């Protein structure tokens, strides 16, 4: 038997990074898999909408902006920094000067007003000797309507990258939900700008209040200097760093080159330092909907780091062994959402891209089978963050690995979650971590974890994390094999529900505001909620609300089978049958406001109930639900829940009202948490809020609630939700008080 062994080249970087992991290991129940497979395909996107012409370049005067200049570092210090860098490291953190010009707000003296009323602020950052820069922007307050442009004004530069404030707020909200105590969670990291000078332009629409902007430019990640090619042309620092034994993928077959487009170089920031790894875009059973990407956990261990990812697609030479860059090269900012991360004995992270990849890339095939010893394999990767390479190997034995302070210790194990390979042509290097290794049928077997192999020592062992084992332990089937079909892409709220406590003489209330005519199934569930504290027998009444008039009762129901249209209700609830003691209506509602009350049938019992409104497809009813509110009793340890299912992309204001309800029994201080519901996975917290004025988009919330102002102790969130299912949980701030509250969802145009 082969003895245990240890290595430390890429493992040491992995261990240093694991100490920062803010998201716990996610280990869902294992899924029984019998060599599930997915063949590769090519992503052919729809024709994109035309970009606004004024987004293509800077719109303000960039001739002489206020400039934050960093001191030039001498060659000796830069060389020392490069030598001290971790294997994957491409850049290092530098704090910007603490001067007034770096704080972008209403009182900044360099605002410009354009002829059409737009307001623009331009700031430059210079770092002599930098190969590239990424800017860290601390966001305190930012309106959704703002546009930020990052680029440079040097000759031959690419146009700046334009980012909407809405995208930045979504990213920061995701970070704060995942790591509320991490100061890096409120940093937005700009796209990488090549060269020594970076320009940031901030644009507000005409009439916007500048007080809605409060950001601080606090740090940059400075990349090492670019190098000169043999012909004297300046090329990126990373290009040409790979070992001499590496094979340019452009020298392989056209089929292999096309398949290689599934692999991207990823650049990311952690603690202000920039790193590089590789990763793979995966095919799934619903290609073109969500875009799933797999890499190593030691590269992307948590959501805050995932949000900083810049993907580099088609990062390769123009032709075989050329010194020129492929014209198709596309850097893509926007980061990713961390779906699942498996550290320790798996070293794999599954992500969803926040923006679609460029057209024409391949979605890689994969298999949950394990490679056979001696089986020929090939790897596509970015060694030393260089242009894309291909290496060839034979599969070796499965192994188990353990992490120690300075090394990874592995030993042969038939049940291990890793496998070795022996290189036959080319190798891998730092920067290759997270890249895939494939069968001759172009199916992914695993992702690179660690090794000490080099071109000079190609026989050292190399360790890949088994994709099949990660698929099982991480329940990847929920995303890749059997994804829940997305709701209809019609930008409507499809389902609204609320869960809360019912007491004798204290019902639970659910309200809905509709436009036009809507057919709605309204159900008050008790036993079928699966809750231990569920109400055994529910009853329900439906009222129409008229301004200045008492509510008008429209219908009431105790047992749903007594309804005149019970047969149609049974059809609509076939996948989730109702209990005979539960109540339901199927009604058409016209323009107006309605409330449904759910209570115990005898009004002498207590328990939880879920009150749900589901829009039913009907050619004769084309309206939309604009608002859902739910009123209920909150007790210590018993919050109130409101749920929403949306199609397309819906902007929603979510509020948790206490004092402004006017109820004598109202909670004094509310708090709110928002979760994404995922099949087979625990709910993922997206955002939370205690006092609504602490939100980055508080000014817009104030505008939307102007006719019914919020109390400063009430909670609110304003967020754009992509298609999916969500739940909001409202509770007392300290979770030690009882009282009533109203949780509301308002769909914003």
What digits encode the pLDDT tens for the residues 162-191?
999 888 988 887 887 778 778 898 899 999
If one counts every other C-beta atom within 10 angstroms of the C-beta of residue 45, the result is 12
Alpha-carbon span 713 to 690, nearest angstrom? 7
- Give the confidence band of 684 by pLDDT, cuts at 50, 70, 90: confident
What percent of the chain has pLDDT above 70?
A: 86
Average pLDDT of the segment spanning 646-650: 67
User: Quick one: the chain helix, strand, coil %, rounded to 5?
Assistant: 15, 45, 45
Tokens of 16: 């240093």
pLDDT over threshold 90, residue 450: no
Residue in 313, 352, 348, 347 with CA at minimum distance from that of residue 335: 352
Alpha-carbon span 404 to 408, nearest angstrom? 6
pLDDT over threshold 60, residue 323: yes
pLDDT digits (tens, 9 = 90+) for 696-714: 888 889 988 888 899 999 9
Alpha-carbon span 174 to 54, nearest angstrom? 29
pLDDT digits (tens, 9 = 90+) for 381-419: 999 999 999 999 999 999 998 765 457 788 899 999 999
DSSP character for 2? P
More confident residue, 106 or 722: 106
Residue in 16, 32, 161, 98 with CA at minimum distance from that of residue 475: 32
- Give the confidence band of 492 by pLDDT, cuts at 50, 70, 90: very low
- Give the confidence band of 470 by pLDDT, cuts at 50, 70, 90: very high
Structure confidence at residue 628 (pLDDT):
67
Average pLDDT of the segment spanning 85-93: 87
Tokens of 431: 């920067």
Phi, psi of 345 (to 5 degrees): -90, 15
pLDDT digits (tens, 9 = 90+) for 269-314: 999 999 999 999 999 988 877 899 999 999 999 999 999 999 999 9
pTM greater than 0.75: no
* Distance (Å) of CA 135 to CA 94, 96, 268, 276, 292: 10, 10, 12, 17, 27
CA Rg value for the chain: 28
Judge whether 25 and 344 are in contact, CB under 8 Å: yes
Query: If you count DSSP H runs as helices and E runs as strands, how many of each does the chain have, helices first?
Result: 9, 48
pLDDT over threshold 90, residue 671: yes
pLDDT over threshold 50, residue 106: yes
pLDDT over threshold 90, residue 229: no
| DSSP per position, 407-438 | -EEEEE-TT-SEEEEEEEE----TT-TT-EEE
Residue in 30, 5, 29 with CA at minimum distance from that of residue 402: 5
Structure confidence at residue 749 (pLDDT):
65
**Chain-centre distance of CA 213, in angstroms?**
24
Tokens of 377: 């394999």
Tokens 């409507």, located at residue: 492
More confident residue, 226 or 4: 226
pLDDT over threshold 80, residue 689: yes
pLDDT over threshold 70, residue 15: no
- Mean of all residue pLDDT scores within the chain: 84
Structure confidence at residue 56 (pLDDT):
61
pLDDT over threshold 80, residue 483: no
Structure confidence at residue 228 (pLDDT):
52
More confident residue, 575 or 330: 330
Residue in 434, 426, 430, 425 with CA at minimum distance from that of residue 464: 434
Judge whether 537 and 524 are in contact, CB under 8 Å: no
């Amino acid at each position: 038997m082969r003895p245990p062994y240890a290595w430390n080249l890429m493992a040491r970087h992995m261990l240093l990074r694991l100490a920062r992991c803010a998201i716990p290991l996610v280990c869902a129940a294992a899924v029984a898999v019998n060599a599930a497979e997915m063949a590769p395909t090519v992503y052919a996107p729809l024709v994109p909408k035309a970009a606004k012409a004024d987004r293509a370049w800077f719109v303000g005067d960039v001739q002489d902006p206020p400039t934050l200049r960093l001191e030039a570092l001498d060659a000796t210090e830069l060389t020392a920094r490069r030598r001290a860098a971790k294997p994957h490291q491409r850049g290092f953190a530098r704090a910007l000067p603490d001067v007034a010009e770096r704080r972008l707000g209403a009182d900044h003296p360099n605002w410009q007003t354009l002829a059409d009323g737009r307001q623009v602020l331009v700031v430059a950052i210079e770092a002599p000797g930098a190969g590239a820069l990424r800017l860290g922007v601390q966001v305190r307050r930012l309106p959704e309507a703002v546009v930020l442009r990052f680029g440079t004004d040097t000759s031959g530069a690419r146009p700046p990258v334009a980012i909407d404030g809405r995208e930045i707020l979504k990213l920061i909200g995701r970070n704060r939900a995942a790591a509320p105590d991490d100061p890096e969670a409120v940093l937005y990291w700009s796209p990488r700008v090549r060269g020594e000078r970076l320009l940031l332009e901030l644009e507000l629409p005409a009439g916007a209040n500048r007080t809605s902007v409060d950001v601080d430019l606090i740090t940059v990640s400075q990349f090492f200097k670019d190098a000169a090619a043999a012909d004297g042309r300046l090329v990126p620092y990373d290009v040409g760093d790979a070992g001499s034994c590496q094979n340019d993928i452009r020298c392989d077959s056209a089929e292999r080159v096309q398949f290689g487009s599934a692999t991207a170089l990823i650049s990311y920031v952690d603690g202000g330092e920039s790193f590089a790894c590789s990763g793979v875009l995966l095919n799934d059973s619903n290609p073109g909907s969500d875009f799933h990407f797999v890499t190593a956990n030691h590269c992307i261990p948590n959501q805050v780091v995932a949000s900083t990812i810049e993907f580099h697609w088609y990062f390769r030479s123009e032709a075989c062994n050329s010194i020129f860059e492929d014209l198709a090269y596309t850097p893509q900012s926007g980061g990713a959402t961390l779906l699942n991360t498996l550290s320790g004995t798996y070293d794999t992270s599954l992500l969803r891209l926040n923006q679609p990849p460029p057209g024409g890339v391949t979605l890689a095939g994969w298999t949950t089978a394990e490679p056979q010893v001696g089986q020929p394999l090939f790897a596509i990767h970015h060694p030393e963050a260089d242009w894309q390479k291909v290496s060839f190997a034979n599969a070796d034995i499965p192994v188990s690995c353990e992490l120690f302070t300075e090394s990874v210790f592995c030993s042969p194990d038939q049940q291990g979650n890793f496998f070795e390979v022996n290189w036959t042509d080319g190798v891998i290097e730092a920067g290759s971590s997270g890249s895939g290794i494939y069968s001759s049928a172009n199916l992914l077997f695993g992702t690179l974890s660690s090794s000490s192999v080099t071109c000079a020592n190609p026989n050292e062992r190399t360790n890949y994390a088994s994709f099949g084992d990660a698929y099982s332990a991480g329940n990847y089937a929920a995303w890749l094999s059997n994804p829940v079909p997305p709701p209809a892409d019609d930008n409507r709220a499809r389902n609204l529900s609320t869960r809360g406590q019912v007491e004798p003489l204290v019902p639970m209330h659910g309200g809905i505001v509709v436009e036009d005519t809507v057919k709605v199934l309204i159900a008050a569930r008790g036993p079928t909620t699966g809750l231990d504290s569920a109400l055994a027998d529910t009853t329900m009444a439906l009222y129409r609300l008229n301004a200045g008039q008492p509510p008008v009762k429209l219908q009431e129901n105790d047992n749903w089978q007594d309804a005149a249209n019970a047969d149609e209700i049974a059809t609509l609830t076939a996948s989730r049958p109702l209990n005979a003691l539960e109540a339901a209506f199927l009604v058409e509602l016209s323009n107006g406001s309605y409330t449904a009350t759910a209570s115990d049938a005898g009004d002498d019992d207590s328990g939880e109930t879920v009150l749900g409104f589901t829009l039913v497809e009907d050619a004769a009813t084309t309206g939309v639900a604009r608002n859902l509110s739910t009123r209920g009793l909150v007790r210590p340890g018993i919050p109130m829940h409101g749920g929403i299912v949306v199609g397309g992309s819906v902007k929603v204001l979510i509020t948790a009202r206490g004092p402004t309800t006017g109820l004598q029994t109202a909670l004094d201080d509310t708090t709110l948490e928002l979760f994404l519901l995922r099949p087979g996975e625990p709910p993922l917290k997206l955002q939370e809020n205690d006092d609504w004025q602490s939100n980055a988009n508080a000014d817009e919330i104030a505008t939307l609630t102007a006719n019914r102002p919020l109390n400063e102790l009430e909670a609110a969130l304003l967020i754009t939700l992509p298609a999916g299912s969500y739940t909001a949980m409202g509770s007392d701030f300290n979770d030690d008080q009882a009282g009533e509250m109203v949780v509301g969802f308002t769909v914003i145009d």
